[in-house]
Amino acid sequence: MRIAYAMINCNRRDGSARAVNEVAERLAKRGHEVHLYARKAEDLDLDLIKWHRVPGPDWPEIADFYSYYRATNRLLAKHNYDIVHSIGVNTAQADVFTIQNIQPAKVGILKKLGSEEKVSLPRRFTRWLYLTVTSAIEKKLYTARPRHESPAFLPVSRGVEAELRRHYAIGDALVRIVPNAADVEKFRPLDSVERGAWRRGQGVPEDVSLAVFAGGEWARKGLHLVIQGIGKMQNKTLWLFVAGDDADRERFKQMARDAGVAERVVFGGFRKDVERAMGSADLFLFPSYYEAFSLATIEAAACGLPIVATKINGTEDFIVPGETGEFVKHDPADIAAVLERLVSNPERLAEMGKAARHRVEQEYTWDRVTDMTEAVYKEVLCVP
């Protein structure tokens, strides 16, 4: 097959971009002719994939997106690919859309969190403009139209599929859930020597329980709930490592001081070794308000961590309570109660981590995701 991917920036740092890199390389190795239309192509084997660079401004976000969208539509119209696969609404030429989120659903959550976020007025305006434009394009591209063949939709979780159907009249379009995945060689449990060395380097005692939180947009991902929850615990041996950064970091640091846990919360910043942070921890904490299917969740599970998260898109698919993790509410007291129970039984915590790792190995590898994606392409093309 001749396959073209549309993704503004491709790398292995961002969840949706990483999926393109992982799947595109595997498909190229299987003999398909793979093209990529992107501004940047990082950590990608360009001996396997032909990169078509799409120039344009990278700031503000709305200019980055819309200039890319218009240019890519023009460029793709000049070629005849078997499959054009867009990651989100990056091109109107797509036969297949991977859906990481549904904009109206995300907008609703951001409105609720407006009072929690300390964001400048210019940033609020540019984000509002971006969400307004992308929501309008999303509605146009996802809604079934008479005399037009519907694209195939690949939501990354059951929750995103439900949002797709709730917000848009997609008609009889082909829908297949294709989740995110993890590199199970890179993201793995560490042995005691590796764990000890990494912890010492971060100032974390070797004999304490360690929870890890990963990502930016801390208000949306519920870091304040984590900090307040740990502050309410009777057990004072649980530490927290925050892998990631946020423009509002000082407010969260003050929150840790106010909760009396500042000495047990390590703000580690953006990490190139996030897999080692996860592999050195005992559990993954993620009381987010909205996700499509957090890649960090799958990567943490691949590292042998039980997932302690709110019941949202993706976690609903992965967590089996008492087996691969536990659900918590958006409530510090509930988070504290669940953590007290888990930390008091380290043997059971370790068993849950092994079960989480096993499930990733069975269902959430990039090889399996590639198989699922390739199968959808054959469905679209009616190829046996």
Reduce the DSSP state of residue 170 to 3 states and report it: coil
User: Is 177 within 8 Å of 151 (Cβ atoms)?
Assistant: no
What CATH number is given for 192-363 in this structure? Answer: 3.40.50.2000
The sign of the CA dihedral 165, 133, 103, 292 is positive
pLDDT tier for residue 312 given thresholds of 50, 70 and 90: very high
Domain with CATH 3.40.50.2000 in the chain: 2-181+365-381, 192-363
Q: Under 8 Å CB-to-CB from 135, ≥6 apart: which residues?
A: 103, 104, 107
pLDDT given at position 118: 63
For domain 2-181+365-381, the question of CATH label 3.40.50.2000 is answered with: yes
Tell me the mean pLDDT in the region 37-59.
96
**How crowded is the C-beta side of 329, counted as CA atoms within 13 Å?**
5
Q: What ranges in the chain are assigned the alpha helix state H?
A: 15-29, 61-77, 103-112, 121-142, 158-167, 192-202, 218-221, 223-231, 249-258, 274-279, 295-302, 315-318, 332-343, 346-363, 366-381
Residue 47 has pLDDT above 80, yes or no: yes
User: Mind listing the pLDDT tens digit for each residue in 117-163?
Assistant: 566 777 778 888 999 999 999 999 999 999 889 999 999 999 999 99
Higher-scoring residue by pLDDT: 321, 15: 321
pLDDT given at position 213: 98
pTM of the model as a whole: 0.92
Higher-scoring residue by pLDDT: 332, 292: 332
User: Mind listing the pLDDT tens digit for each residue in 16-43?
Assistant: 788 899 999 999 999 999 999 999 999 9
User: Is 97 within 8 Å of 89 (Cβ atoms)?
Assistant: yes
Backbone angles phi, psi at 29, to 5 degrees: -65, -20
